[in-house]
């Protein structure tokens, strides 16, 4: 039996849990810029750096040995599909902060991914209790197209913030745009406020 605690993302508890302008799909579409990278975990590492007390570089072996959480959440993609009831398992963003120890002037993060991709988030939202670096989805390892070996999942924001093929997180003082934000997606991306495109 899996003893890993399950965190229920708050948005799944709403009476009407589908945000405005969204349609529920049973599928799990694949969306990203560029080609799917095939990542060998043996050559992969996770870096926590920038404004932190103790910068870390973790091998895959070290990363998977960190304490785990499970999160039950809904996915809301800006292209209007939502996929309800996803179960993720991985390492809480909070766990990464606990070991890297962000400095008081760290107020934002850039989550970096393979090939130069990044997504920007306020530190507080990155550290939401339901945010994690996921290794599995519905009990199975992520597939390459969904971000193997590790992807970010930030349930309360549109799914473009949930970087696939993550290579690390950088703690910064000032907000700078990530990949999709720099080509016109909203800087924040709250699905309940329909922060889809533009500022
Ligand atoms: N590395 C990387 N991660 C990414 C993207 C990307 O282009 N590169 N696209 C984002 C977007 S726009 C979406 S909608 C989701 C899609 O995730 P999925 O393919 O698992 O559904 O991944 C996000 N993560
Ligand atoms: Mo997207």
Q: How far is CA 171 from the centre of its chain?
A: 15
Average pLDDT of span 76-88: 98
Pocket test for ligand 1, best of 78, 120, 135, 164 (most atoms within 8 A of CB): 164
Report the atom number in ligand 1 closest to the C-alpha of 114. 1
Nearest CA to ligand 1 atom 4: 163
Distance from the alpha carbon of residue 30 to the mean position of ligand 2, in angstroms: 9
Q: In what order do the strands lie in the sheet with 117-122?
A: 56-59, 45-50, 166-172, 108-113, 117-122
Pocket test for ligand 1, best of 73, 160, 183, 197 (most atoms within 8 A of CB): 160
Q: Is 126 exposed, middle or buried (0-12, 13-18, 19+ CB in 10 A)?
A: buried
pLDDT-based confidence at residue 4 (cuts at 50, 70, 90):
confident
Nearest CA to ligand 1 atom 7: 32
pTM, rounded to two decimals: 0.98
pLDDT at 2: 75
Nearest CA to ligand 1 atom 22: 160
Average pLDDT of span 16-41: 97
- pLDDT tens digits along 113-161: 999 999 999 999 999 999 999 999 999 999 999 999 999 999 999 999 9
pLDDT at 3: 80
pLDDT at 84: 98
Report the atom number in ligand 1 closest to the C-alpha of 164. 3
Question: Range with the lowest mean pLDDT among 1-10, 45-54, 146-155?
Answer: 1-10
pLDDT-based confidence at residue 106 (cuts at 50, 70, 90):
very high
User: Over 90: is that where the pLDDT of 21 sits?
Assistant: yes
32 within ligand 1 shell (Cβ under 6 A):
yes
CATH class of segment(s) 43-193: alpha beta
User: Over 90: is that where the pLDDT of 85 sits?
Assistant: yes
pLDDT at 1: 63
CA distance 128 to 148: 22
Nearest CA to ligand 1 atom 13: 160
Which three-class secondary structure string do you get for 56-71? EEEEHHHHHCCCCEEE
Q: Chain-wide mean pLDDT for the chain?
A: 97
118 three-state secondary structure:
strand
């Amino acid at each position: 039996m899996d003893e890993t605690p399950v965190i229920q993302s708050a948005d799944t508890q709403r009476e009407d849990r589908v945000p405005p302008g969204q349609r529920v799909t049973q599928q799990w579409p694949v969306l990203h810029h560029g080609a799917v990278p095939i990542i060998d975990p043996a050559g992969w590492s996770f870096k926590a750096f920038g404004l932190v007390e103790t910068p870390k570089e973790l091998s895959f072996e070290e990363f998977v040995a960190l304490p785990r959480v499970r999160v039950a959440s809904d996915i809301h993609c800006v292209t209007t599909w939502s996929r309800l009831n996803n179960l993720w398992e991985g390492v809480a963003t909070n766990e990464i902060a606990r070991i890297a120890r962000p400095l008081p002037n760290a107020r934002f993060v850039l989550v970096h991914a393979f090939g130069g991709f990044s997504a920007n988030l306020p530190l507080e939202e990155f550290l939401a209790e339901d945010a994690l670096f996921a290794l599995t989805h519905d009990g199975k390892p992520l597939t390459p197209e969904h971000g193997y070996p590790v992807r970010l999942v930030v349930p309360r924001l549109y799914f473009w913030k949930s970087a696939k093929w993550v290579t690390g997180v950088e703690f910064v003082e000032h907000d700078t745009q990530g990949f999709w934000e720099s080509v016109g997606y909203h800087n924040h991306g709250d699905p309940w406020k329909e922060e889809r495109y533009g500022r």
